[in-house]
Amino acid sequence: MIDVLDGPAAIAIADELGPLYAASFGPEEDTDRFTTETLPKHAARADFRLVAVRQDGPLVGFAYGYTGERGQWWPERVVEAVGAELAAEWVGGHFEVVELAVHPEAQRQGLGTALMTELMRDLPHRRALLGTDVDDGPAPRLYRRLGWQLLYPDLGWGSALYGLDKGVPETS
């Protein structure tokens, strides 16, 4: 079962998120900074949501995001890399997928797909953005299977930019 958490609920499980973050991305990642600085800063942003999955108790995966806006660190780096036309169309007011982490022992069980599907469910944003590996590894293949499109092949720091356009919301 996947739980959907708001900012305060995500902060409450930070002690579980840190070790999973390290297991997923490597021990060289600064998990203390992630749990004490990055996550709290992100959890305070508009439309923050974190989805988490457990297997027999332990947390084995999570994904989170929030509304990305011009003036924030990552959107500004994207704008500098992609140029005015692409930035005007995609950057600002988008849902920004920040992290998708699945414990290595729980990978290849469909958890990444389930987490991303739940993370994106019923969002009011027309567009979403994320950065991922420039290669054709598991993460980019997952996003393409879920309908994301490659917008920019290399932002200049080893990340490709992917976008998801849900189309114009229907009006009544």
* pLDDT tens sequence across 36-73: 999 999 999 999 999 999 999 999 999 999 999 999 99
- Choice among 64, 143, 152, 162 that is catalytic: 143
Q: Would you say residue 169 has pLDDT above 60?
A: no
Q: How far apart are CA 102 and CA 75, in angstroms?
A: 25
Q: How confident is the model at residue 26 (pLDDT cuts 50, 70, 90)?
A: confident
- For residue 135, what pLDDT is reported? 92
pLDDT score of 111? 97
CATH superfamily of 2-165: Gcn5-related N-acetyltransferase (GNAT) (3.40.630.30)
pLDDT at 16 over 80: yes
Domain ranges of the chain: 2-165
Reported as a single tens digit per residue, the pLDDT across 96-133 is 999 999 999 999 999 999 999 999 999 999 999 999 99
pLDDT band at 168 (very low <50, low <70, confident <90, very high): low
Q: Give the pLDDT confidence score for residue 171 in this predicted structure.
A: 47
**Sheet strands (E) in 38-126:** 49-54, 59-68, 94-102
Known active-site residue 143: yes
What does the pLDDT look like over 137-155, one tens digit per residue? 999 999 999 999 999 999 9
Position 81, amino acid? A
Q: What local confidence, expressed as pLDDT, does residue 172 receive?
A: 43
Q: Are the beta carbons of 5 and 52 closer than 8 angstroms?
A: yes
Q: Strand 149-152: give its sheet, edge to edge.
A: 2-5, 49-54, 59-68, 94-102, 127-133, 159-165, 149-152
